[in-house]
Structure 1
């Protein structure tokens, strides 16, 4: 802390800072100074950030109502914009951009009656909005934060951490004789150095390792793009300096797990939500009830194909469902806040202790912001209330308390006025620093540049960056500035503002060896032998999985480690497959034999389509418009498929559809379901299985066939066989793919003589019996058939640990 600031505070002066962090830092520095003097108690220093000081002066200067908060102001901008721009999709984004433009307009004294406002559609629109917004606030007798500095009576103060003052601030303090603007201290670092690292993550790792060696001092880490790099920064510092760092940039309270859970619960209570949102509620640790039972309900809903769920259909929170059913149609925001609190209590939120009291307190602040809408928004529906509550939570920043950790991680602006013993500045490459100009689109560009609005021109951005760089390079006794060599394969150079610094070679730190538990590796490729009475669950898929990878067969069919379903609106490929199966089964049973194919089959097709649609009549996932689309698609497919059936040169009779049988192969009893069995005049059978995408017969061959389903049907069929085939029925193609020992039985099938066909069936039997026997005795080796290619579509790598 500068001596003049310390001396002024001891005399009771007020210090106004550019931001909250500097206020906290100065208070801590003042306390350390008093402790160094041997004092045990002292008067609290009067240090507060700019916005809080302005509010204090407003309350001291006026008996008017409190100014609009950010939520109230946004609601008024939304009202104005929605009334003027009815076709605008992103009203919220426009409202927030208008709020920023309104603030800059007042801070930099931009003239509102200037012809430049009419030179673009955006600036002309904002000029009209701002007039209406001003009239609206006048009718409400309210004022916003942008205009407060023009209405307050100033008082002398010391100003700390301000790189520049806006014209509005200069005019304010000109009316307060005795105001002192505290300058930067003398340069403390004689020789800052420049370090080059391979990439951004290497920069952050090097900075963290450097800070780890200086935990006995006050260390600052500057990350210009702290918002974008926050997750990487947190992960690296948690690994290298756990518990010894604080990130000044908070996150929206809406992202805190406890608050996110509350918002999801309320959303589910007032309107149907996507299945993933319902899952988050069901699996939330912040809700009441048996978590295992709720998890099972989640699996059930996904298997039912629900892509959207209501609180009632979830069925796991009866108390909350009862409370939700009693909600009024409309009420004010403050009444909704009370209703939502009661509704969350019915969910059991926030769950069992321990509760994050900082997050809970911030949630109460969100509810207070939301309740303040009573003065600017009329009674609203539950859906509108949830939308506003989410906006309030998204706009409120949650930052865990700064407990004076030795390593402080900040953005370039947040470091204003701060001093450290050691400072590492990352991200100073030529692309990132100086930052690119980004003028406000709602303000005339020429006026922005004329009034020197921040980021309005490259020249202004460069001047700003020079001031910040000079301030940072005088903020510590030891300073390292770094930049990355590359970003997304683009070469980078150091920023021209620091390229003159002496270079220091810094190596990327070696990662710490992972902590491994004291365990002894144990390999056991065999599971207990299969012991089931009757058929093993899993059907033909058991053999397919055993062929692909024995461990996957064991995990999916015996441990039931199946992948989670991810339902989407409409029908997924599996749902379309079910529709096709239902329609074809009904159609071919009605047709009965090949003689019926000679005439039209429109009535049979229509009935088959209606039958299939009735079987898929869940209106929540299969609405009227989708039914009509699927009706047309199915009708077309069935008409075209019958043309394929007419190409068969041998008479046939349909003797079975959806034929369910319990069979045994290699000691394994399973249930099979053959889509269709035809009989030829010589009484031999043709086995047909419908597919949207049909594998070729080559997939049936070898000791580990890729697709053993049809071979299984063939080797367990009790009657003489003529052919086996997949019938591909989809918009991608309509055809038979199979093998046949009867000429003309199936168009385009691979035809062969009877002995060759019999030999192939015998080879299938040998392969399937081996696979079945392996499964029964517990063979569960992690052995993907085609290596990584097989693993591409497997969901079990964390269970089988194949990469370890």
Structure 2
């Protein structure tokens, strides 16, 4: 059993049956309670009266209840009122940043609390001092409006309730013991003394000077090096002496908690374990909005109001706490619908279009059933009504999941319920709320609420500076031991005259006061620890940083911190290379993927096997405008319409280009046309008009030709596999000479047509399919940003950029042989990795093969 974190012998002489022990924070209260219970058990007792110990905030709530004082506004509600007042008085052209009403409201709330807690109104010079300073005078006007509003509506603030306790005529406690208070406002002291028959202040130890014999100071080059060393230190002492109490003090714990936990998990080898696996207690929790179970619930509500982005919906569909997609097939159909439609936002109309497309694959999807029950009423309602609707919406979404919740998840679930209950109290500030405003309140509450799950007591405690006060450790590390933390920097309120803040010794208003507080804290830590380490980062923003002046007399060391080196698992290792997967069954009609699959296989068999045999979808991206697929569709349709009813170039009228493109744009799905902004369609219209004009100029320089067909269907059978495709265009030249042209916005390299693996298999397949009359193939590059050109090969030259092949029949035989070789590889399940710059640059399966290539490898060019 771990020894207590608190030395209960300090308090035993003071404790009686009617005593209330009050602490600055909950952690010290729990430590005292545990230490007292341990002491009683060590005395051989089997039962004893529990000691009454609670934090100052808890005893404040208890006294309000016992004194029958009215419930007070929560800080978030008070800040909301401040913000409303400030917005009403702020000019329309105000600048953002510091003059943001929300930031001003927070600072105003803090200033209001200071005025009450330091009893500034009792100072006869207060009003004149406020009027003399422009910023203070502005705040004073806001203050008068704020107090007028709360009186008008009968609201009460927390500061006013402290004032009410300080004026109370009844005694609510017989004996109050205030333990280890380094900071206590005059109003809090007055309230405690007023409601108690007796108040005593106790310090756990009388701080001595810091003993250099048991103290070390370590400097590091960067923050990660410091945290990595701290984590390694914690692991080493945890494993060497299981019963030791280890403490890690991090002044800015909220900022560094996540990074420190990462290094601790690395050191203990628990990177992928659950929350409770690490033998560490963190005094700082996380924002409730960051807890996965709560985030899933809030995201469902945001989805109902159109506040979610498409990638967030996909993440939500995979959440274990929801049932928005009940099968892999349904999730995949949703994913494809999202990427096909690529909505910029997810409002109700966009969701309906997505569900319309989703219904083609999943007629009765879970997402569509949820949407039917989650339609948000446009009318304003009370927070209570909004909460009831949200609960129905979450139930329809399957939250919090079908599986049982573990302890941490259950605590998160209870916090969510408490947050919803607290939200109902906002109806006292305003009778009706728009759904979006109510959700904003909920999000703000979750951001400001701290989730601190109760976990078993552990050897290692990670604490903020003030939370470490009063606790005892065998070994303690204090990180970031520099000026700015010890002592803290001066931070004056912008709304109170500076001389008043210093005169009344307000927090962080006086350098000497902060120095003495830091000295008291550090000396207290030294007195309650058997061994003490201080660490800091010696370089910040390319400037040297010195250790806090409180420790400048101590000798410093600069430990070398090695990267974490995991031991290799012992055993006999062998290497097995297997480049083949499962063989294909007997040919059964069309080969899935067709020419594109053959080209992908030629480029890298692993990619083709992953895509078509393992059925891993290629990575898609949500486009702001038209997708590459849509641009290709519109290009092909535009060219088909432009040439419809014509076979010679002189018949093509440049005036027909714009109508052809406009009509082709209508071939985009109805849903996409609704979702795409008008600007995107207009830009595509202009882009294609320019590209086609450039292309027609190139065509006018070619040898005479007639266009025989557009979008001709064709088939080719190779080894029992059928390849079906459409030819973009078939041109006829003189002497029974036909050529195939395939439109591309960027013409690919044709170098592999004449040696190596046939990475561009499309046009060779077309040439084989149409037989002897076809004696040329080429890609036609139609682009508004690149020069129009033909890239291909033929028995004769039919344009600049076309390579002449004297023995065309032999070339087609070579292509057929290369295609048959690729089909042979497909049939035997070839899946080897063929890394190259061209293959790896746009690979969607890098996580599978994990081959990395140098960025400077050059790609082949067209000949």
Do the two structures share a fold, i.e. TM-score over 0.5? yes
| Aligned partner of 2:205 among 185, 190, 193 | 185
Contact conserved, 1:569 with 1:621, CA < 8 A, in 2? no
3-state DSSP of counterpart to 2:663: helix
1:141 aligns with 2:154: yes
CA distance in 1, matches of 2:571, 2:382: 56
Q: Which residue of 2 aligns with 1:513?
A: 567
CA distance in 1, matches of 2:185, 2:699: 84
Q: Which residue of 1 aligns with 2:856?
A: none
TM-score w.r.t. length of structure 1: 0.88
| Aligned partner of 2:233 among 188, 194, 207 | 207
CA distance in 2, matches of 1:96, 1:656: 71
Contact conserved, 1:579 with 1:616, CA < 8 A, in 2? no
Q: Which residue of 2 aligns with 1:566?
A: 621
How far the C-alpha of 1:480 sits from its partner, in A, is 1.7
157-166 or 618-627: bigger deviation:
618-627
Contact conserved, 1:649 with 1:744, CA < 8 A, in 2? no
1:736 aligns with 2:789: yes
Structure 1 residues 167 and 699, CA gap change in structure 2 (3 angstroms) = farther
CA distance in 2, matches of 1:427, 1:695: 56
Aligned positions of 1:715-730 closer than 5 A = 716-721=769-774, 723-730=776-783
Contact conserved, 2:314 with 2:335, CA < 8 A, in 1? no
Alignment deviations for residues 441-472 of structure 1 (CA, whole Å, 9 cap, x no partner): 55566655565544457776655544433333
Q: Which residue of 2 aligns with 1:113?
A: 127
Q: Which residue of 2 aligns with 1:797?
A: 846
| Aligned partner of 2:747 among 694, 699, 702 | 694
Alignment deviations for residues 571-625 of structure 1 (CA, whole Å, 9 cap, x no partner): 334433333333233223365431124xx43244224323323434325763452
3-state DSSP of counterpart to 1:206: helix
CA distance in 2, matches of 1:697, 1:774: 22
Q: Which residue of 2 aligns with 1:228?
A: 255
222-231 or 193-202: bigger deviation:
193-202
CA distance in 1, matches of 2:704, 2:472: 93
1:498 aligns with 2:551: yes
Contact conserved, 1:675 with 1:688, CA < 8 A, in 2? yes
3-state DSSP of counterpart to 1:726: strand
3-state DSSP of counterpart to 2:341: coil
Q: Which residue of 2 aligns with 1:594?
A: 649
Structure 1 residues 729 and 642, CA gap change in structure 2 (3 angstroms) = closer
CA RMSD of aligned residues (A): 3.7
| Aligned partner of 1:341 among 391, 404, 414 | 391
How far the C-alpha of 1:364 sits from its partner, in A, is 1.0
| Aligned partner of 1:329 among 352, 369, 379 | 379
1:545 aligns with 2:594: no
CA distance in 2, matches of 1:731, 1:468: 69
Aligned positions of 1:625-774 closer than 5 A = 625-626=678-679, 628-630=681-683, 632-634=685-687, 636-638=689-691, 640-664=693-717, 669-698=722-751, 702-704=755-757, 707-714=760-767, 716-721=769-774, 723-739=776-792, 745-746=798-799, 749-755=800-806, 767-774=818-825
Q: Which residue of 2 aligns with 1:299?
A: 335
Contact conserved, 2:179 with 2:203, CA < 8 A, in 1? yes
1:557 aligns with 2:612: yes
Structure 1 residues 558 and 406, CA gap change in structure 2 (3 angstroms) = same
CA distance in 2, matches of 1:666, 1:452: 91
Structure 1 residues 181 and 698, CA gap change in structure 2 (3 angstroms) = farther
413-422 or 794-803: bigger deviation:
794-803
Q: Which residue of 2 aligns with 1:351?
A: 401
Q: Which residue of 2 aligns with 1:252?
A: 287
Aligned positions of 1:448-459 closer than 5 A = 448=501, 451-455=504-508
Contact conserved, 2:753 with 2:760, CA < 8 A, in 1? yes
Structure 1 residues 104 and 717, CA gap change in structure 2 (3 angstroms) = farther
Q: Which residue of 2 aligns with 1:99?
A: 109
CA distance in 1, matches of 2:681, 2:495: 47
3-state DSSP of counterpart to 2:742: strand
Q: 5+ unaligned residues in a row in structure 1: which ranges?
A: none
Structure 1 residues 76 and 771, CA gap change in structure 2 (3 angstroms) = same
Q: Which residue of 1 aligns with 2:859?
A: none
Contact conserved, 1:306 with 1:620, CA < 8 A, in 2? no
CA distance in 2, matches of 1:589, 1:469: 86
How far the C-alpha of 1:515 sits from its partner, in A, is 6.6
Contact conserved, 1:195 with 1:505, CA < 8 A, in 2? yes
Q: Which residue of 1 aligns with 2:181?
A: 162
Alignment deviations for residues 190-213 of structure 1 (CA, whole Å, 9 cap, x no partner): 421123455134233223324423
1:395 aligns with 2:418: no
CA distance in 1, matches of 2:130, 2:781: 66
Structure 1 residues 180 and 775, CA gap change in structure 2 (3 angstroms) = same
Aligned positions of 1:233-312 closer than 5 A = 233-241=260-268, 242-271=277-306, 273-288=308-323, 290-307=326-343, 308-309=345-346, 310=348
| Aligned partner of 1:81 among 86, 99, 114 | 86
Q: Which residue of 1 aligns with 2:71?
A: 66
| Aligned partner of 1:373 among 423, 426, 450 | 426
CA distance in 1, matches of 2:520, 2:810: 86
Alignment deviations for residues 133-177 of structure 1 (CA, whole Å, 9 cap, x no partner): 222111121222233322213766322233233344455457578
Aligned positions of 1:456-495 closer than 5 A = 464-484=517-537, 494-495=547-548
Structure 1 residues 418 and 626, CA gap change in structure 2 (3 angstroms) = same
Structure 1 residues 734 and 476, CA gap change in structure 2 (3 angstroms) = same
CA distance in 2, matches of 1:767, 1:79: 74
3-state DSSP of counterpart to 1:113: helix
1:606 aligns with 2:659: yes
How far the C-alpha of 1:504 sits from its partner, in A, is 5.7
CA distance in 2, matches of 1:118, 1:574: 67
| Aligned partner of 1:527 among 576, 581, 596 | 581
How far the C-alpha of 1:93 sits from its partner, in A, is 4.4
Contact conserved, 2:192 with 2:199, CA < 8 A, in 1? yes
TM-score w.r.t. length of structure 2: 0.82
498-507 or 569-578: bigger deviation:
498-507
3-state DSSP of counterpart to 1:670: strand
3-state DSSP of counterpart to 2:594: coil
Alignment deviations for residues 756-783 of structure 1 (CA, whole Å, 9 cap, x no partner): 8777766655554433432232211123
Structure 1 residues 752 and 630, CA gap change in structure 2 (3 angstroms) = closer
3-state DSSP of counterpart to 1:146: helix
CA distance in 2, matches of 1:632, 1:663: 36
How far the C-alpha of 1:131 sits from its partner, in A, is 2.6
3-state DSSP of counterpart to 1:304: helix
